[in-house]
Structure formats: structure tokens, C-alpha cells
Amino acid sequence: MTTDMEQACDFTDPTYIMWLSIGIAFLVVYVIALPLAVLVVLASRRHRLFERGVKFRFGFLYSGFTKRFYWWEIWTMYRKALTIMLAVFLQNYGTNSNMQILVGTIIVIVALAIQFFCRPFARGEIDTLEEIGLLSIYFAFFVGLFYLNISEVQEDTSLQQLLMWLVIVLTTSFVVYWLYIAIPELLYIFRRVRKPVHMEIVGQDPALRRMQTGSGSKVRFLRHC
């Protein structure tokens, strides 16, 4: 209750009990139960994930991953939720942020090891991007532990600047690599949106063109044009 110092954290206080109950309910429903329910739904349809109806309803959860790792988005949800929960619950543990940073570092190391082992994304570039992002987070936590616990780092301004620039360089490399992947994709989508329908039909293989046009009337119309 840091926002309201007059509110006592006492289990005999009805107001405290009310807000605690609401918080626990939201934690159980939205953080634990909802992703678990989505996982159960996906697992029950794991052999039909690429059928039209299933993909239309749930494809946004697994379309970027290989078929084997359709559940990866759920793991990502739990990992992020666990990181936030530990950051909140451990903020008053000890005299500084050592415990928060240490536990966060452990979570990132585990996530990075699982990422290196599984590489779940359908495109290798996205796997590399995820690994660079996790490495930058790990290095930021590591620098935080150095700054909080080593007196030489606290007293040496040049060393602090060096560590800061290393974090900046690693984070910038993540952003640059993301742009390297995202810009061609955005240009492709932009060109595809602007491409006329008749260009898509004419540019296809004849067999595919006949399948797309059905009776072939559209193709005959384009030939006359």
C-alpha cells in the first residue's frame, strides 16, 4: 500500500481484505487460468492447427512458430508474468534491488537456454532476434548487479560509462536487427496491398491461375484488355 500510507496492511481491515481478494482473483483468472485454458484449447486441436477454421480463430497465437512449438506463446506469457510478479513482490525484500535483479537474471538465463535449445520460430531470423533481445536484458541485469554490489564500479565514473555504453550498444544492435527484418516485410506488405488484382492473376502459374479464376472468364477478360 505504498500509494496510500494510511491504509494498514492488516487482515482484520475490511478494505484491505476486499482489495486483496480482487487482486488474487485477477491474478488467478487472467494470469494463470486464461493462458492455461488457451493452452488446453490449442493442445486439443494440435493436429488441426492449419485447418481454415482453427487458424482463423487461434492462428494469431501460433502462426509465427513451427508446428511442434504451437504452445510457445503461452510459455512467453507465463515468463513475462513471472518476471513482473517477482519484480512487484520482491521490491521490499532487502535494502536494495539485489534480489529483484538476481531473480530476474535467473529467469532470463533459463529463458535464453530454452530459446537456444528449441528455436521455435518458423523463421531463423526471428529466433536470432529473440536471442539478441534476451541477451541484452541479461546484460542489463548483470550490469545492475555490478553497479549495486561492487564499490569500484560505484566510485569509478569511467567504468560506469563503459558499462552503460555496452548496454546501449547491445540494445541498439537489437533495434537495428529488428529494422533489418521488419523493413523488408513492411515493404512487401505495402507492395502487395497496392498490387492490382489482375496483376496477381496474370503473374501466377497458368494452373494456379485457372484454379483462382474458376471458369477462366477473368483470364479471358484480361486477355481482351
Q: So what's the pLDDT on residue 136? A: 87
Residues of the chain predicted below pLDDT 70: 1-12, 92-96, 152-154, 194-225
Directed axis angle between helix 72-89 and helix 34-44, to 10°?
170
pTM given for the model: 0.69
Side-chain half-sphere of 223: how many Cα atoms within 13 Å?
6
Q: Which of 147, 90, 66, 79 is nearest to 113 (CA)?
A: 79
- In 10 A of CB 124, how many CB atoms? 9
Q: So what's the pLDDT on residue 207? A: 52
Q: So what's the pLDDT on residue 196? A: 53
Q: So what's the pLDDT on residue 119? A: 93
Q: So what's the pLDDT on residue 205? A: 47
Q: How far apart are CA 82 and CA 105, in angstroms?
A: 12
Coil, helix or strand for 121?
strand
Write phi, then psi, for 195 (nearest 5 degrees): -70, 130
Coil, helix or strand for 82?
helix
